[in-house]
Structure 1
Amino acid sequence: MEELRKTVSDVSELFTSKMEQFQQRLDNVSGTPSSQGNNLLATEFEAFKSSILFCLQNLQVQVEMLYKLQDDLEMRSRRKFLLLHGVMESKDESPSSIAKMLSVLLKCPDVSADSISRCHRLGIKRAAKTRPVLIKFRQHQLKEQVWSSKTHLKGTGITLSEFLTKSRHNLFMAARRQFGVSSCWTRDGNIFAIRSDGERHRISDKKDVDGAVASVPASASAQLPQPSQQSKDKGRKKVPTKDQ
């Protein structure tokens, strides 16, 4: 889908460039003796250009709609997943050991090896970097319970995050850079941030970040109010969730 978006964008730029070149050539010969014929050609060219641009714009809109739909479906398929960061790798680690560690640290006795359907390291093993652990819970309700208990990990060096799609991960990183780490969070794949007005906003695309950048001076953005964990959790609870 990402390649399709790029192809449509490239075709649009190519058509625009070629039509601009043709327009310049047409303007250069407009003063010749056959200007009447050139005027007719110019009229037909404008009609053709308008038609092509209209089709390209509609195509881009449809591709964006398909891209967002595909991203929504992909994110929904990840609703039972969480990423566990900061756990040192060992040769004898297993889903049982990971489940036991989570159960103890998060004070969630319901977490066990039987409650997890998938548990493995994500990515290529490197000596200088600890890979995150990808965990898929059998029940979405238990995943939500674990996610809500992540504050117990404070000070342990271990963190939990949602398994976001690539586009949402990039958007989340952009929001954190703009609004601050403590002012941004995710819930069921949705991104939220406390912006300069002190209100919670859902960040759906790059425009929500760029718009805030344009309206808030750089010096002011560094002074954005930082919500307490209590207020942030309170705000999160307002977001409805659907249990499977």
Structure 2
Amino acid sequence: MTQIAEVLSNQKSLEERFTPLEAMFMQKMEAVQAQIQAAGPAKDTIAKVAEEFRTFRELMFSLLGLLRRQITECSRQIDDMETRSRRKALIMQGIPEKEGEDCTGLVLDVINTKLGLNFTTTSIKACHRLGQTSADHHRPLLIRFASVDNKLSVWRAKTKLKGTKIAIREFLTKERQNAFLKARQHFGLRSCWTQDGIIHIKAPDGSRYKVTSTVELNPILTKYPRMQGASSSGAKRSAEETVGNLKSTRR
């Protein structure tokens, strides 16, 4: 609730700042229009109109900059809230899909037999497929655990799935998922991973970075131009993960 109140407060602040700027904008527009209509051949009149226009242009740039900063901040806070709401969730890929299946039972079978854990139906709050049914691929499973501890136990044990067709990944927001895919396509699969919704990147020179959005990622991509032919297979696999981008209904 505190986070939501903070976002609403920022939006109200944006409106309060925008109103006087809007009034000033209209006033300047009317003044410039009146001067243009009354302008004669005198050079000083034309120069004055030009100066008024420059002032107006600077005002508009200031307004647009303010709006951009406010929108970016509101978007960041909303993304943070959405990430926190997903802290008990994971996505499991690679499990064959059947009509009338028991999603929870399928997940428990993987967790208990392949990961060596001892989970029951009470360990999972909700489980369902993401996206629309397709004959081309098996839809990923979204798992909402009963507790953060349950989720972390599965996350730490996921390395036991190496060599199988099953994979487990975090349920990232759309913004973070886009940034993650872009980073993997640029740096390769082994140089990018996520932990608690944060994207970790290992650059070619060994430097490490943490990002949560494409805005934060872009300067890093500029600093490290992509090597020719780098991880084309990784890019293909990353693109397939966009299936999990669909936002599920919270239960």
TM-score, scaled relative to structure 2: 0.72
For residue 4 of structure 2, what is the aligned residue in structure 1?
none
For residue 108 of structure 1, what is the aligned residue in structure 2?
117
Write 1 or 2 for the structure with the bigger share of helix. Answer: 2
Gaps of 5+ in 2: 1-24, 232-251
Q: Which AA in structure 1 matches 2:151?
A: K
> Could you tell me which of 167, 180, 187 is aligned with 1:172?
180
Gaps of 5+ in 1: 1-14, 224-244
Kept in 2, the 8 Å contact 1:96–1:112? The answer is no
> Could you tell me which of 136, 150, 173 is aligned with 1:128?
136
Question: Shift of the alpha carbon at 1:220?
Answer: 7.9
**Aligned mates of 2:73, 2:216 — CA distance in 1:** 17
For residue 234 of structure 1, what is the aligned residue in structure 2?
none
Q: What is the root-mean-square deviation of aligned Cα atoms in Å?
A: 2.7
Kept in 2, the 8 Å contact 1:179–1:221? The answer is no
Report sequence identity in percent: 36
What are the superposed Cα offsets for residues 172-230 of structure 1, whole Å, 9 maximum, x if unpaired? Answer: 0000011110111111111001112213210233355433333334438949xxxxxxx
Kept in 1, the 8 Å contact 2:126–2:144? The answer is yes
> Could you tell me which of 145, 160, 164 is aligned with 1:156?
164
**Aligned mates of 2:133, 2:229 — CA distance in 1:** 38
Kept in 1, the 8 Å contact 2:87–2:196? The answer is yes
For residue 208 of structure 2, what is the aligned residue in structure 1?
200
Task: Report whether the alignment pairs 1:59 with 2:67.
Answer: yes
SS in 1 for 2:201: strand
For residue 6 of structure 1, what is the aligned residue in structure 2?
none
Kept in 1, the 8 Å contact 2:90–2:143? The answer is yes
Change (3 A) 1:133 1:219: closer
Change (3 A) 1:210 1:103: same
**Aligned mates of 1:100, 1:112 — CA distance in 2:** 10
SS in 2 for 1:42: helix
**Aligned mates of 2:224, 2:98 — CA distance in 1:** 47
Change (3 A) 1:198 1:208: farther
**Aligned mates of 2:215, 2:125 — CA distance in 1:** 37
Task: Report whether the alignment pairs 1:183 with 2:220.
Answer: no
SS in 1 for 2:227: helix
Question: Shift of the alpha carbon at 1:55?
Answer: 1.3
SS in 2 for 1:219: coil
For residue 69 of structure 1, what is the aligned residue in structure 2?
77
Farther-moved stretch of structure 1 (195-204 vs 131-140) = 195-204
Give the number of aligned pairs.
198
Task: Report whether the alignment pairs 1:139 with 2:162.
Answer: no
For residue 53 of structure 2, what is the aligned residue in structure 1?
45
For residue 18 of structure 2, what is the aligned residue in structure 1?
none
Q: Which AA in structure 2 matches 1:41?
A: V
Question: Shift of the alpha carbon at 1:93?
Answer: 2.6
For residue 81 of structure 1, what is the aligned residue in structure 2?
89
Kept in 2, the 8 Å contact 1:81–1:162? The answer is yes
SS in 1 for 2:204: coil
Q: Which AA in structure 1 matches 2:186?
A: Q
Q: Which AA in structure 1 matches 2:57?
A: K
**Aligned mates of 2:116, 2:226 — CA distance in 1:** 41
TM-score, scaled relative to structure 1: 0.74
Change (3 A) 1:49 1:76: same
What are the superposed Cα offsets for residues 107-138 of structure 1, whole Å, 9 maximum, x if unpaired? Answer: 111x2211101011111111111100110001
Kept in 2, the 8 Å contact 1:196–1:221? The answer is no
